[in-house]
C-alpha cells in the first residue's frame, strides 16, 4: 500500500507555484520545482521559501538528479497547441519541451507512481487529436495507465479557463486494483470532468491503456466577479473610461446604459480585440456579460490585459485588472506577491499558471483515494461500452 505520509511532488515548468499551492491544500508537498524563468522563480521563492526551486532549462536537466517522488507534474508550454496560436503541434517550438519531460521520467531512478500533465483544451484537437494521443501513448510506454479530464476554472472561481489534465497511474499501482471492463465503463462516466468530447476521444483511442478513477462531479462555483474586485484600486479618468465605452459594440453600450441608473454596481470584464465594427476592422472592447472574467493571459501585447468594468449609480468606470484581482481569479488570493517584481512580471506569472482549486480538487478526489488504507471499488454495474 502506498505511504500516505510520502505525498511528495516534483513540479516541472513550475512557474510561480500555483500547482504546488493547489496540491499543498490537498496535503501534498513539492520537494523539487523546475523552471528556467528567473522572475517566476523569484515569485515562487518569495511565497514558498528557497531551497527546492531549480532555475534551469529542462533540456539541460537529467532525470538521475531528480529526487524520488510520488507525483511528477508538468504544465508544459501550450504555445504551439492553443487554438489562438499557429498550432505547430507537440513537435514544434516551446511545446516540444514535453519530450524532455518524458525523457526525464525515463531517466529517474524510481518511476513516480503518478504523473499529472496540464495543458490547454486545444491539445484535444491538435493535429486532429494525434498530438494528445502521442502524449498518452508515451505515458503508456513509460508504464502508466492514463486518464483524461477537462476542468474549467469557472467551477471554482469566476474565470473561464478550460484546461485538460492527463493523469498517469503506474502499472505497479494499477496491478493492485481489480477492475473489469464493466467497472472501467462505470468509472469513466462517474463525473462531468469527463464530458462527451472526452469520452469520444477515449473511445476513438480505445487501444491505449486507460484507467478511470471514480470521481464526483465538479463543484458549482459560489463566487461571482464582484467578489474578486480590489476596492482600493484607482479607476480610470472619465475620459479614458468613455473612450472604452465608445469602442464597444452597440448592444454592449445599450446594456451599460440600462444598468447606469441602478443603485447597486454591476461588474463586467472586457478585452480589446480587432473586430469588424461599423463596417471597418478596428480595436473593439468586447464585454463579457455572463458574470465571470475571461481567461487570464500573459501581458504580452496591448490587448492582453483584461479590463474590469463597473456600472451603476449613474457611473461608468473601467480600469485594468490588477495583481490582487489576478491572484483571486486564480484561487490564490493568499499568494504572497513579491513587491520587488513589476506589475507585468506578476501578471505574467498568474496568466501562465494553473487554477489553484482545480489542482486541490484533483489532489483530493483523484490522488488521495489511492493512499487510503483500502481502495473502495463500487459494486454497481453499467451497460458495457467497448473501450
**Digit-coded pLDDT (tens) for 16-37:** 999 999 999 999 999 999 999 9
Contact predicate 132/124, CB 8 Å: yes
Tell me if the pTM is above 0.85: yes
Residue 277 has pLDDT above 50, yes or no: yes
Which is higher by pLDDT, 244 or 375? 244
User: What is the predicted pLDDT for the residue at 62?
Assistant: 96
User: What is the predicted pLDDT for the residue at 381?
Assistant: 29
Share of the chain above pLDDT 90, in %: 78
In the chain, CATH 3.40.50.150 covers: 8-221+352-371
**Band of pLDDT at residue 386, cut at 50, 70 and 90:** very low
Positions annotated as catalytic residues are: 78
pLDDT in tens, 87-123: 567 777 787 889 999 999 999 999 999 999 999 999 9
Helices (H), the chain: 18-25, 38-48, 98-107, 130-141, 171-174, 181-188, 196-204, 238-246, 250-259, 323-329, 343-351, 356-362
384/387 Cα distance (integer angstroms) = 9
Q: What CATH superfamily is the domain 8-221+352-371?
A: Vaccinia Virus protein VP39 (3.40.50.150)
User: What is the predicted pLDDT for the residue at 177?
Assistant: 54
- Mean pLDDT over residues 225-246, rounded? 97
User: What is the predicted pLDDT for the residue at 209?
Assistant: 94
- Strands 8-12 vs 71-74: parallel, antiparallel or unpaired: parallel
User: What is the predicted pLDDT for the residue at 382?
Assistant: 27
Q: What is the mean pLDDT of the chain?
A: 90
| Cell (9 digits) for 304 | 492582453
**Band of pLDDT at residue 186, cut at 50, 70 and 90:** confident
The 144-152 sheet, strands edge to edge: 53-55, 29-35, 8-12, 71-74, 114-120, 162-170, 144-152
Q: Which of 15-24, 33-42, 171-180, 216-225 shows the lowest mean pLDDT across its residues?
A: 171-180
Amino acid at each position: 500500500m502506498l505511504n500516505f505520509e510520502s505525498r511528495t511532488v516534483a513540479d516541472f515548468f513550475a512557474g510561480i507555484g500555483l500547482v504546488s499551492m493547489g496540491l499543498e491544500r490537498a496535503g501534498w508537498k513539492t520537494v523539487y520545482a523546475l523552471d528556467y524563468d528567473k522572475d517566476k522563480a523569484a515569485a515562487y521563492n518569495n511565497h514558498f521559501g528557497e531551497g527546492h526551486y531549480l532555475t534551469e532549462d529542462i533540456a539541460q536537466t537529467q532525470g538521475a538528479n531528480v529526487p524520488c517522488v510520488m507525483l511528477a507534474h508538468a504544465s508544459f508550454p501550450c504555445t504551439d497547441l492553443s487554438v489562438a496560436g499557429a498550432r505547430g503541434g507537440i513537435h514544434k517550438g516551446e511545446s516540444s519541451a514535453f519530450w524532455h519531460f518524458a525523457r526525464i521520467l525515463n531517466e529517474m531512478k524510481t518511476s513516480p507512481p503518478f504523473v499529472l500533465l496540464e495543458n490547454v483544451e486545444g491539445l484535444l484537437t491538435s493535429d486532429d487529436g494525434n498530438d494528445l494521443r502521442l502524449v498518452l501513448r508515451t505515458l503508456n510506454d513509460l508504464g502508466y495507465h492514463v486518464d483524461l479530464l477537462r476542468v474549467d476554472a469557472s467551477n471554482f472561481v469566476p474565470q473561464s479557463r478550460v484546461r485538460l489534465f492527463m493523469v498517469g497511474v503506474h502499472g505497479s499501482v494499477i496491478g493492485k486494483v481489480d477492475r473489469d471492463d464493466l467497472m472501467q465503463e462505470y468509472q469513466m462516466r462517474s463525473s462531468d470532468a469527463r464530458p462527451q468530447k472526452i469520452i469520444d476521444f477515449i473511445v476513438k483511442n480505445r487501444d491505449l491503456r486507460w484507467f478511470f478513477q471514480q470521481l464526483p462531479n465538479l463543484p458549482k462555483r459560489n463566487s461571482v466577479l464582484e467578489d474578486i474586485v480590489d476596492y482600493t484600486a484607482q479607476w480610470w479618468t472619465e475620459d479614458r473610461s468613455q473612450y472604452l465605452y465608445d469602442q464597444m459594440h452597440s448592444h454592449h453600450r445599450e446594456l451599460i446604459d440600462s444598468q447606469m441608473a441602478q443603485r447597486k454596481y454591476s461588474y463586467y470584464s472586457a478585452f480589446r480585440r480587432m473586430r469588424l465594427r461599423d463596417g471597418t476592422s478596428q480595436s473593439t472592447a468586447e464585454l463579457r456579460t455572463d458574470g465571470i472574467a475571461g481567461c487570464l493571459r500573459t501581458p504580452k501585447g496591448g490587448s492582453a490585459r483584461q479590463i474590469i468594468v463597473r456600472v451603476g449609480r449613474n457611473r461608468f468606470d473601467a480600469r485594468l485588472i490588477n495583481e490582487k484581482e489576478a491572484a483571486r481569479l486564480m484561487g490564490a488570493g493568499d499568494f504572497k506577491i513579491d513587491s520587488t517584481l513589476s506589475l507585468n512580471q506578476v501578471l505574467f506569472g498568474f496568466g501562465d499558471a494553473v487554477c489553484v482549486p482545480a489542482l486541490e480538487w484533483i489532489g483530493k478526489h483523484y490522488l488521495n483515494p489511492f493512499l487510503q488504507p483500502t481502495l473502495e471499488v463500487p459494486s454497481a454495474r453499467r451497460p458495457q461500452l467497448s473501450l
